Structure 1
């Protein structure tokens, strides 16, 4: 079971949004590069990094530089970087791979332009994850600010792509510290034949267990980690060793 810490960057700084709302942003006084290094020191083999400015189509040079630096730091430490936010064409994905990213996440492209998304996946088989960001059963796009159709319908198409997996985010739980949307997650895991990474609301070791039992191959943890209420080292040791109960 993969326990993956996340870093969200906006305006060149570490932030977390509440339920994907850019107006409800918490700024953390931590350097993103130092943070990813601390995650690797705690045992994390992979870190999820999102450029929130690019995700909603408003690239910021400061954010881009910070994400690049974080990716470089992970590569130097022998860990995997998983990058999302604004990757909407082949060239954008290639740039991140050239910088050393192991995986990229496509959200808007996957729900709005399936043909282009499938071509991108075919060009980088096993290195692309599709982002299924869901609110009230609807997939969201453009940094979660616009609708993208029925969420479950996308899974039928994605099953045919050479994806590394999908990132399923329950937007209504994101940043709330209220636990994952387990029932929805279970349905997604039943519908998608590949690996599912669960995001949104994961706060405790029990939450990780619940996601695992629902069928998830991994979890992504953000706000709970930044607030110090989630013990990353313990979770990685427990679930990597297969001793979780």
Structure 2
């Protein structure tokens, strides 16, 4: 059995535009349906959604046979949780709230086996094909994609140092928390925030790293895409459901 190739990592390393969808719903049938909708990647969120490694596992299984890459966001820079998600078979992780290069180095260590890192070794996991992938421990890091999330002023101040950390494969900008950090809570499209996001994308790309972004505003997504975002999440599953439900109710209530 061969180690699964990480198509998302290969694509962003080549600068190929990858369009994604943020997923917060725990139903594996919904995940499977979304996997066939044409997105390049789906991001399963355990930080703000009611998901954990146990509930993410069936989502990873549901989308595994589809031409879409699964990304998982752990609750925090938690070494034990990161290890568990990797053992469940996640190959791309988005680590939230990275504040500085020191935290970025810990994130990088968490996804690599010793002696380069601190990931714990286990042989009979989904990641190893339950022991069927020969040489998994030697080759795993090549197909693991580590994304770090920049969402505070302190992270922006240390952005070039974060990008320079060995093992960081991409840098994602989270606009909601960044807006709060810049003094514009609940107003992520404030001109100061939009300017900071565009500048951060340019700085990330200047460092030779792919940049990522998420917004529910398609106009803003297009602006950040034009600024150089390589992997952009263009909507959230629960927002799509709610917007569709609201529109249908309005249609019939006003008829």
Place the TM-score, normalised by the shorter chain, in its bin: 0.5 to 0.7
CA displacement at 1:212 relative to structure 2:
1.3
Q: Is the 8 A contact 1:110 1:130 kept in 2?
A: no
| Residue matched to 2:253 | none
CA displacement at 1:3 relative to structure 2:
1.5
Q: 1:66 aligns with which of 39, 49, 55?
A: 55
Change in CA separation of 1:36 and 1:198 when aligned onto 2, cut-off 3 Å: same
Q: 1:208 aligns with which of 221, 225, 229?
A: 221
Uncovered stretches (5+) of structure 2, i.e. residues with no partner: 1-16, 118-140, 245-255
Whole-angstrom distance in 2 between the partners of 1:73 and 1:179? 38
Residues matched between the structures, number: 187
Deviations 1:41-63 (A, max 9, x none): 21123111111369xxxxx7x64
Change in CA separation of 1:175 and 1:76 when aligned onto 2, cut-off 3 Å: farther
TM-score (norm 2): 0.60
Which structure 2 residues correspond to residues 1-245 of structure 1 after superposition, within 5 A?
1-8=17-24, 14=25, 32-52=27-47, 63-108=52-97, 111=100, 113-120=103-110, 123=117, 124=141, 127-134=145-152, 138=153, 149-171=154-176, 172=179, 182-192=194-204, 193=207, 194-199=209-214, 201-204=215-218, 206-220=219-233, 221-222=235-236, 224-228=239-243
Whole-angstrom distance in 2 between the partners of 1:185 and 1:177? 10
- Of Structure 1 and Structure 2, the greater strand share is in 1
Whole-angstrom distance in 2 between the partners of 1:162 and 1:50? 22
Other structure's SS at 2:166 match: coil
CA displacement at 1:87 relative to structure 2:
4.9
Q: Is the 8 A contact 1:121 1:161 kept in 2?
A: no
Q: Is the 8 A contact 2:95 2:149 kept in 1?
A: yes
Q: Is the 8 A contact 1:165 1:197 kept in 2?
A: yes
Whole-angstrom distance in 2 between the partners of 1:51 and 1:89? 12
CA displacement at 1:89 relative to structure 2:
4.4
| Higher alpha-carbon Rg | 2
Uncovered stretches (5+) of structure 1, i.e. residues with no partner: 9-13, 15-30, 55-59, 139-148, 230-245
TM-score (norm 1): 0.62
Whole-angstrom distance in 2 between the partners of 1:71 and 1:175? 32
Other structure's SS at 2:148 match: strand
Q: Is the 8 A contact 2:83 2:110 kept in 1?
A: no
CA displacement at 1:86 relative to structure 2:
2.6
Change in CA separation of 1:187 and 1:75 when aligned onto 2, cut-off 3 Å: same
* Greater Cα shift, 162-171 or 219-228: 219-228
Whole-angstrom distance in 2 between the partners of 1:214 and 1:182? 11
Whole-angstrom distance in 2 between the partners of 1:6 and 1:164? 19
Whole-angstrom distance in 2 between the partners of 1:226 and 1:195? 30
